[in-house]
Amino acid sequence: MCATLPSTVVAPEKPSRKKYKNVRLPIELYGEILKEAEERGVAMWKVIADAFTRYKLWRKKPEERMRVPRLDKASWYIFKLCNSVGALKENPTPENAEKLMRTIGQIEERIGVNCELLKKTVSEFLAHKDTFHKVELNDVTKMVVGDIIVKLIFGEET
Protein backbone atom coordinates (compact mmCIF):
# COMPACT_ATOMS: atom_id res chain seq x y z
CA MET A 1 0.00 0.00 0.00
CA CYS A 2 1.25 3.44 -0.90
CA ALA A 3 0.30 6.74 0.66
CA THR A 4 -1.04 9.26 -1.77
CA LEU A 5 0.09 12.84 -1.77
CA PRO A 6 -2.36 15.69 -2.00
CA SER A 7 -2.69 17.08 -5.47
CA THR A 8 -1.20 20.45 -4.49
CA VAL A 9 1.88 20.61 -2.30
CA VAL A 10 2.73 24.02 -0.89
CA ALA A 11 6.31 24.69 0.13
CA PRO A 12 6.71 26.21 3.57
CA GLU A 13 7.34 29.93 3.56
CA LYS A 14 10.88 31.02 4.08
CA PRO A 15 11.32 33.36 7.01
CA SER A 16 11.81 36.91 5.87
CA ARG A 17 15.37 38.06 5.96
CA LYS A 18 16.23 41.11 7.98
CA LYS A 19 17.75 44.00 6.18
CA TYR A 20 20.98 45.37 7.55
CA LYS A 21 22.80 48.68 7.47
CA ASN A 22 26.44 49.35 8.17
CA VAL A 23 27.55 51.54 11.05
CA ARG A 24 31.01 53.03 11.37
CA LEU A 25 32.54 52.38 14.77
CA PRO A 26 35.88 53.29 16.30
CA ILE A 27 38.08 50.18 16.26
CA GLU A 28 38.32 50.16 20.07
CA LEU A 29 34.54 50.10 20.45
CA TYR A 30 34.25 47.40 17.80
CA GLY A 31 36.71 45.29 19.78
CA GLU A 32 34.73 45.75 22.99
CA ILE A 33 31.47 44.79 21.28
CA LEU A 34 33.10 41.76 19.69
CA LYS A 35 34.57 40.65 23.03
CA GLU A 36 31.21 41.02 24.80
CA ALA A 37 29.41 39.14 22.02
CA GLU A 38 31.89 36.27 22.20
CA GLU A 39 31.66 36.09 26.01
CA ARG A 40 27.85 36.03 25.90
CA GLY A 41 27.69 33.79 22.83
CA VAL A 42 25.41 36.14 20.90
CA ALA A 43 25.61 38.18 17.73
CA MET A 44 27.23 41.59 17.90
CA TRP A 45 24.01 43.34 16.91
CA LYS A 46 22.30 41.81 19.94
CA VAL A 47 24.92 43.33 22.25
CA ILE A 48 24.33 46.74 20.67
CA ALA A 49 20.53 46.34 20.80
CA ASP A 50 20.68 45.39 24.47
CA ALA A 51 22.89 48.36 25.29
CA PHE A 52 20.63 50.71 23.35
CA THR A 53 17.53 49.41 25.12
CA ARG A 54 19.14 49.97 28.50
CA TYR A 55 20.23 53.45 27.44
CA LYS A 56 16.70 54.40 26.38
CA LEU A 57 15.30 53.12 29.67
CA TRP A 58 17.95 55.06 31.58
CA ARG A 59 17.03 58.28 29.73
CA LYS A 60 13.31 57.84 30.34
CA LYS A 61 13.63 57.26 34.07
CA PRO A 62 15.71 59.98 35.74
CA GLU A 63 15.18 58.46 39.19
CA GLU A 64 16.96 55.31 37.99
CA ARG A 65 19.78 57.47 36.69
CA MET A 66 20.18 58.99 40.13
CA ARG A 67 20.25 55.59 41.83
CA VAL A 68 23.24 54.27 39.91
CA PRO A 69 25.83 56.62 41.44
CA ARG A 70 24.27 56.15 44.89
CA LEU A 71 24.32 52.38 44.43
CA ASP A 72 27.95 52.53 43.37
CA LYS A 73 28.84 54.68 46.38
CA ALA A 74 26.93 52.42 48.78
CA SER A 75 28.57 49.31 47.31
CA TRP A 76 32.01 50.83 47.65
CA TYR A 77 31.65 51.83 51.30
CA ILE A 78 30.00 48.53 52.24
CA PHE A 79 32.82 46.63 50.51
CA LYS A 80 35.44 48.80 52.18
CA LEU A 81 33.87 48.41 55.63
CA CYS A 82 33.43 44.64 55.35
CA ASN A 83 37.00 44.18 54.12
CA SER A 84 38.36 46.25 57.00
CA VAL A 85 36.29 44.37 59.57
CA GLY A 86 37.35 41.03 58.07
CA ALA A 87 41.01 42.03 58.10
CA LEU A 88 40.74 43.08 61.76
CA LYS A 89 39.04 39.84 62.76
CA GLU A 90 41.61 37.77 60.86
CA ASN A 91 44.60 39.72 62.12
CA PRO A 92 43.80 42.12 64.99
CA THR A 93 46.83 44.40 64.67
CA PRO A 94 47.00 48.12 65.43
CA GLU A 95 47.45 48.79 61.70
CA ASN A 96 44.23 46.94 60.79
CA ALA A 97 42.39 48.65 63.64
CA GLU A 98 43.61 52.04 62.39
CA LYS A 99 42.46 51.27 58.82
CA LEU A 100 39.04 50.22 60.08
CA MET A 101 38.68 53.34 62.22
CA ARG A 102 39.66 55.49 59.22
CA THR A 103 36.98 53.76 57.11
CA ILE A 104 34.43 54.26 59.89
CA GLY A 105 35.36 57.96 60.01
CA GLN A 106 34.85 58.28 56.25
CA ILE A 107 31.43 56.63 56.49
CA GLU A 108 30.40 59.01 59.26
CA GLU A 109 31.76 62.09 57.52
CA ARG A 110 30.85 61.39 53.89
CA ILE A 111 27.58 59.50 54.28
CA GLY A 112 26.36 60.72 57.66
CA VAL A 113 25.81 57.30 59.20
CA ASN A 114 26.21 57.10 62.98
CA CYS A 115 28.96 54.56 63.74
CA GLU A 116 29.45 55.17 67.47
CA LEU A 117 28.24 51.68 68.39
CA LEU A 118 30.59 50.15 65.81
CA LYS A 119 33.56 52.10 67.23
CA LYS A 120 32.70 50.86 70.73
CA THR A 121 32.33 47.28 69.49
CA VAL A 122 35.72 47.46 67.73
CA SER A 123 37.35 48.64 70.96
CA GLU A 124 35.72 45.81 72.91
CA PHE A 125 36.82 43.27 70.31
CA LEU A 126 40.41 44.53 70.45
CA ALA A 127 40.36 44.22 74.25
CA HIS A 128 38.99 40.64 74.32
CA LYS A 129 39.48 39.05 70.85
CA ASP A 130 37.10 36.20 71.62
CA THR A 131 34.24 34.59 69.68
CA PHE A 132 31.54 36.49 71.54
CA HIS A 133 33.05 39.84 70.58
CA LYS A 134 33.60 38.67 66.98
CA VAL A 135 29.89 37.87 66.73
CA GLU A 136 29.04 41.26 68.23
CA LEU A 137 31.33 42.93 65.68
CA ASN A 138 29.56 41.05 62.87
CA ASP A 139 26.11 42.08 64.11
CA VAL A 140 26.97 45.75 64.52
CA THR A 141 28.71 45.80 61.13
CA LYS A 142 25.52 44.42 59.54
CA MET A 143 23.56 47.21 61.20
CA VAL A 144 25.90 49.84 59.75
CA VAL A 145 25.68 48.19 56.31
CA GLY A 146 21.90 48.43 56.56
CA ASP A 147 22.14 52.08 57.54
CA ILE A 148 24.38 52.80 54.53
CA ILE A 149 21.85 51.14 52.21
CA VAL A 150 18.91 53.00 53.71
CA LYS A 151 20.73 56.34 53.61
CA LEU A 152 22.19 56.13 50.10
CA ILE A 153 19.72 53.99 48.16
CA PHE A 154 16.45 55.04 49.72
CA GLY A 155 17.54 58.51 50.80
CA GLU A 156 16.08 58.11 54.27
CA GLU A 157 17.53 59.21 57.56
CA THR A 158 18.92 56.45 59.77
Q: What is the pLDDT of residue 117?
A: 96
- Residue 107's CB: how many other CB atoms inside 10 A? 23
Q: What is the pLDDT of residue 148?
A: 95
Q: What is the pLDDT of residue 109?
A: 95
Q: What is the pLDDT of residue 66?
A: 60
Q: What is the pLDDT of residue 3?
A: 47
Q: What is the pTM of this model?
A: 0.58
Q: CA distances (Å), 43 to each of 25, 38, 76, 85, 89, in order?
A: 16, 8, 33, 44, 47
Q: What is the pLDDT of residue 54?
A: 79
* Residues of the chain scoring pLDDT < 70: 1-16, 62-68, 156-158
Q: What is the pLDDT of residue 84?
A: 97
C-alpha 22/C-alpha 19 separation (Å) is: 10
